[in-house]
Amino acid sequence: MNLCIIGSGYVGLVSGACFAEVGHHVICVDNDPKKIAMLHAGQIPIYEPGLEDLVKRHVASHRLTFTGSIEEGVDGADVVFIAVPTPPREDGSVDLSYIEKVAREIAGVLKPGQYRVVVDKSTVPVKTGDKVTETIHRYAKPGVEFDVVSNPEFLREGCAVADLMKPDRVVIGSNSDKATNLMRKIYEPFMAPILVTDVNSAELIKHAANSFLALKISYANALSAICDAAGADVEKVVDGIGTDKRIGRHFLNTGLGYGGSCFPKDIAAFIAICEDMGVPFTLLKEVQKINRLQRERFLQKMRDALWILRDKKIAVWGLTFKPDTDDVRSSVAIDIVNDLVREGAHVTAYDPKGMEKAREFKLIPESVKLASSALEAADGAEALVLATEWKEFREVPLEEIKKRLHTPLVFDGRNLFDPEAMQEQGFQYRCIGRPAKENARKKASA
C-alpha cells in the first residue's frame, strides 16, 4: 500500500521504516528542513538500534522516501498517518496545536473523489478523532471523502524497531468498515493480534496503558522506600510478587522514577482529561507524587553520605532517560545532574549516546563537563552516580572504577550492580531499596 507519515521522529521514522520492511511504499514528511536534509543525505537524525540499516535498505529499495511537503506526501497515499508531537501545557493538559495544524494542512490538499484514511498515531486525548474529523471537514473542499482512525503506538524507545516489527497487539480505533479493512491490510504482514475498537476507546487505551505502566513503576518504587526502612531487599520482593501471573514481573523495576518524553506527559494528560470530564483519577496523582519523591529520596541518600554536596566532584553515568536511545527529553538522569549542580557540586557526566543532544538542547549547564568514557568521568570523583542502566556500565571492571575514584562511594540509581560484589571490592555502595551489606552484616552479628 502507499502510506504517508507526517512527522518523522521516534514514532514516524521508525514506523515508516518498518512499514517499508513489510512491503509498503512509504513517504515520510517532516517540517524540519534539517531533518529532511539529513535523511536525504543518508544520515539518521535519531539513534535507535537497527534503524539505520533498515532506513538505508529501504531508501535503496525505493520503498522509503522523504519530503518536507505535506501535499507531496498525501497526494499518492491511500492512508495518511499523523505522528507529530503532543507536548504538555503548563497545567499538564495536551497541546494539540500540532495535530490541528497538520489536520488543516491535510484538509487543504485532499482532492474530491479520492478516498483517504487519516490515522492518528500520536498520543492524544479521547475525542481528538472527532476534532480532527471536524477540522478536516471545515477546511477541505466539498466532496472530499475520508475517515479518521486512531492507531495508538506502543513502541518503546531503545527497542522501537523490534517492538514495531513484532507488536503485542495492534489497536485500530475506527468507526468505518472501509477504513478498518484498509488498516487491517497494512498490519496483516506483522502477524500480530489486531484489536478493533471505536475511535474513543482506542484513544483511551493508550493513556490507560501508559498510566498503568507508570503505576506499576511507582508501586515498586513505593515498596523500595518501605524496604529501605525495613532493611528488606526490594529486588526479592518484586520477584516474589511478579512471579504471580496475575501481577507479572514487567515494569516492577525500582529506580530513580519514570521519565522520558511519554510517561510524565501522558500521566499528566490523563489526569487533566479525566478532570475535564468530571471524573478525577486521583490515584494517578499519587503515582506522580511517588515518582517525584523517589528522586528526592535518592538525593537525600547522597546528602546523608556526603554531608555537603557543594564543591564535591561527582561523576554521573548516564544522561538518557533509558538505555539504548539518544533521547534525553524529560530524563531523570538529566534532572539529577541539574539537582547536583544546583547544590553546588562539580559534575562530570558520561553517556554513550545522549551527550550531544543534552548539549544541543541546553538541558545541562555549561559547567557540567562531559567525559569521553565512563572511566574518564570517574577520574578523581568523590562519588559516582549511576543514573541510566546502560549495559556498557555493567561491563566496566569494578577494580578499575575503584582505582579511578577519589573515594569508593557509588550511588546506584538503577540497582545495576551486585551489592555483594561491590562490598567485596571495598565500595561504599548505596542503591534503591536494598540494604547496604555492611549494615546487614552488622545487624546479623548484633
The least distance separating ligand NAD from the CB of residue 175, rounded to whole angstroms, comes to 21
**Please, are residues 272 and 288 in contact by the beta-carbon 8 Å criterion?**
no
Q: Residue 315 is inside which H or E element, if any?
A: strand 313-317
φ, ψ for residue 3 (rounded to 5)?
-120, 150
274 tagged catalytic? no
What is the distance between the alpha carbons of residues 341 and 12, in angstroms, rounded to a whole number? 35
Identify which of residues 213 and 315 has a Cβ nearer to ligand NAD in the complex: 213
**Amino acid present at 181:** N
Closest to 384 in 3D by CA, of 418, 430, 338: 430
Residue with cell 578523581: 380
CA separation for the pair 398, 422 (Å, rounded): 8
When the beta carbons of 30 and 335 are compared against ligand NAD, the nearer one is 30
Shortest Cβ 384–ligand NAD spacing (Å):
29
Concatenated DSSP letters for 175-238?
A: S-HHHHHHHHHHHGGG---EEEE-HHHHHHHHHHHHHHHHHHHHHHHHHHHHHHHHT--HHHHH
- Write out the residues near ligand NAD by the rule CB under 6 A: 6-12, 29-32, 35, 83-86, 98, 101-102, 122-123, 153, 155, 157, 261-262
Q: How far is the CB of 89 from ligand NAD (least distance, A)?
A: 14
How would you label 260-292 residue by residue, b for 16+ Cβ within 10 Å and e otherwise? bbbbbbbbbbbbbbbbeeeeebeebeebbebbe
Q: Which residues pair with 7 in a beta bridge?
A: none
β-partners of residue 347 are 314
Q: Taking Cα atoms as reference points, which of 392, 385, 254 lies closest to residue 317?
A: 385
Q: Are 325 and 259 in contact (CB under 8 A)?
A: no
Nearer to ligand NAD, 81 or 393 (CB): 81
Helix (H) or strand (E) run with residue 253 in it: none
Shortest distance, position 248 Cβ to ligand NAD, whole Å: 21
Question: What is the distance between the alpha carbons of residues 383 and 304, in angstroms, rounded to a whole number?
Answer: 13
Residue number, 213 or 274, with CB nearest to ligand NAD: 213
Nearer to ligand NAD, 123 or 388 (CB): 123
Nearer to ligand NAD, 17 or 405 (CB): 17
Describe the crossing of helices 199-230 and 234-242 by its angle, rounded to 10 degrees. Answer: 140
User: How much of the chain is helix, strand and coil, in % rounded to 5?
Assistant: 45, 15, 40
Q: State which residue, 186 or 409, has the beta carbon closest to ligand NAD.
A: 186
What is the C-alpha separation between 142 and 375, in angstroms, rounded? Answer: 65
Residue nearest to ligand NAD (CB): 9
Q: Cβ closer to ligand NAD: 213 or 215? A: 213
Catalytic residue among 4, 18, 227, 262: 262
Catalytic residues: 262
